Amino acid sequence: MRIHTAEQLEEALDSELAWRRKELTDVHSSVHGNVGSTQSMLIRAGVALLYAHWEGGIKGLCAHYLTFIGTSRPKYNTLAAPLLAIALHKDFRKHWEARSLEYTLEIINRVRDGAGSRAKFVPLPTIDTKSNLTSSVLREVVISLWLNYAPFLLREKFIDESLVGQRNAIAHGEYLAVDISKYDSMHSSVLSLLDDFRTQISNIVAPKKFSVGLQDQSA
């Protein structure tokens, strides 16, 4: 899917979160529509699903963002340094496989001599959440995409202990009792986190802050 305009990106981001929000809300309603052991079982399933949409939502939002940047075809010398690294990731990976100084120089010369050429994001880079989207992994993702991590600082404990920790316990077959008030709080927090991540993308795309010039990064 090609995303040519900021408006198309906004639509893609909205669509990415809409179905996830509906599914989580449906499960949340089912939890409140039951009692006893059935409710407890649904809460545990709900916690696992909250994590699934946390990781899947972040990866989906990132994919749309990178698709938009790739379609925009910015010049290498206008990309923010972290995004330049993503654009050249495939080349760097080949370098580490080849362990060749000649190939390293080829990459350097390509950037230096072809700095005014258009960056290529093909194939579309994938964001590695390490199948365990902790706060430290989230921080890496945010920094690599030239986004702002500040809105997530105060929620690191929730991400690591409540979301990732409890999901891992449930996924590994442990019996974990989560009361309904805790589940309600987790439900609201995950939706809020996804909305905030989406907002970070919107805030950087509207003024095209992802294209800042390499010289700005060395200041």
The mean pLDDT value of the chain amounts to 87
At 214 the pLDDT is 34
| DSSP string across 14-35 | HHHHHHHHHHHHHHHHHHHT--
Number of structural domains found in the chain: 1
Higher pLDDT, 101 or 67: 67
State pLDDT tens for residues 34-59. Answer: 999 999 999 999 999 999 999 999 99
At 213 the pLDDT is 39
Find the length of the chain. Answer: 219
CA distance 72 to 210: 11
Residue 191 lies in a domain: yes
CA distance 127 to 101: 27
pLDDT band with cut points at 50, 70 and 90 for residue 95: low
Residue 112 lies in a domain: no
- In the chain, what percentage of residues exceed pLDDT 70? 82
* 192 φ, ψ (degrees, to nearest 5): -65, -40
For residue 69, what are the domain limits?
Answer: 6-73+120-213
Residue 64 lies in a domain: yes
pLDDT band with cut points at 50, 70 and 90 for residue 117: confident
At 210 the pLDDT is 67
Higher pLDDT, 170 or 77: 170
Decide if pLDDT at 111 tops 90. Answer: no
At 10 the pLDDT is 95
Higher pLDDT, 62 or 81: 62
* Listed range (29-33, 42-46, 75-79) with the worst mean pLDDT: 75-79
Residue 86 lies in a domain: no
| pTM for the predicted model, two decimal places | 0.86
At 217 the pLDDT is 34
Closest CA to 183 of 59, 20, 30: 30
